[in-house]
Homo-oligomer: A and B are copies of this chain.
Amino acid sequence: MKEVLLVKLGGSVITDKAGGGGIDNAALADIGKVFAAHNDRISVILVHGAGSYGHPEARSHHLDKGLDSNNKAGIFITHRAVRTLNDAVVNALRAQGMEAVGIHPLSACIADNGNLQSFDSEPVELLARNGIVPVLHGDVVMDRSRGACIVSGDQLVRCLAESLNVDRIGLATDVAGVLDGGAVVPHIDPVSASSLVIGESGTTDVTGGMRGKINELLTLAESGASSSIFHISRLGDFLDGRDHGGTVVTR
């Protein structure tokens, strides 16, 4: 059996989030090559953030305040934006000879009060088992109490890790790991987390930055699943199971 890895690509890794700009196709091509080089040994479930795709649309339609009679178009427009990015990620893997398809949370997930509630992960599981990389993304989803909300890639990682039997979990970001006073914190658990002073991501988004990321991973760690946060340049090290120079979150 291949090792099953749940990997998240931060939105800032694959888009020019700060500049309000496009898909970073050069970065995606490099990422596709790293995954392809490991394709015979690992089975990957991939999640990516929205970066500069989706967050501006969600914000301009005030989807963070829920759905009302005036912002319904924000659902289509936000989803279309993140789907465009998702298509690029899928195509970057396929360009390297891997099989991959986009899986869209709007079609499959429900949230309540901004928190992801239900997600039938069996399509994801069967795709991975058949050697096809399911590529999920932060998305707008319907919300029982708010009408609609944004679910982050980090929420999806937590939810997928809880329902699927994955061997390792890794979050590739544009920083070296969780930083405290500029230095990477090599290890975080619930006790040490409470004493950390953690800066927000350089460019904040509507889904929570590094603090939100750690909270999702600590929730996961409670159930025994440890996870890693590392710089995207160390993706190959993570896939190989080597030291990645980043942060490991455990219970």
Interface residue ranges, A against B (CB under 8 Å):
67, 69, 72-73, 75-76, 79, 90, 94, 99-110, 118, 120, 122-123, 126-127, 130-132, 141-144, 147-148
Q: A76-B101, A94-B76, A107-B104 are in contact. Are A147 and B130 (CB under 8 A)?
A: yes
A155 to B: closest C-beta gap in Å: 16
Oligomer copy total: 2
Residue of B nearest to A142 (CB): B126
State A100–B123 Cα separation when bound (angstroms): 24
User: Chain B contacts of A147 at CB under 8 A?
Assistant: 126, 130
**CB <8 Å contact, A123 and B142:** yes
State A228–B208 Cα separation when bound (angstroms): 48
State A79–B102 Cα separation when bound (angstroms): 10
**CB <8 Å contact, B75 and A101:** yes
State A101–B107 Cα separation when bound (angstroms): 9
User: Chain B contacts of A144 at CB under 8 A?
Assistant: 126
**CB <8 Å contact, A123 and B101:** no
User: Chain B contacts of A67 at CB under 8 A?
Assistant: 130
Residue of B nearest to A90 (CB): B76
Residue of B nearest to A69 (CB): B131
Q: A73-B99, A99-B72 are in contact. Are A120 and B123 (CB under 8 A)?
A: no
Option from B72, B101, B106 in Cβ contact (under 8 Å) with A106: B101
User: Chain B contacts of A76 at CB under 8 A?
Assistant: 90, 94, 99-101, 132
**CB <8 Å contact, B99 and A122:** no
User: Chain B contacts of A123 at CB under 8 A?
Assistant: 106-110, 141-142
Interface centre among A94, A130, A143 (most CB of B within 10 A): A130
User: Chain B contacts of A131 at CB under 8 A?
Assistant: 69, 72
A75 to B: closest C-beta gap in Å: 6
User: Chain B contacts of A105 at CB under 8 A?
Assistant: 107
Residue of B nearest to A120 (CB): B120
* 22 interchain pairs, CB-CB under 8 A: A67-B130, A69-B131, A72-B131, A76-B90, A76-B99, A76-B100, A76-B101, A76-B132, A79-B101, A101-B106, A102-B107, A103-B106, A103-B107, A107-B107, A108-B123, A109-B123, A110-B123, A126-B142, A126-B144, A127-B142, A130-B142, A130-B148
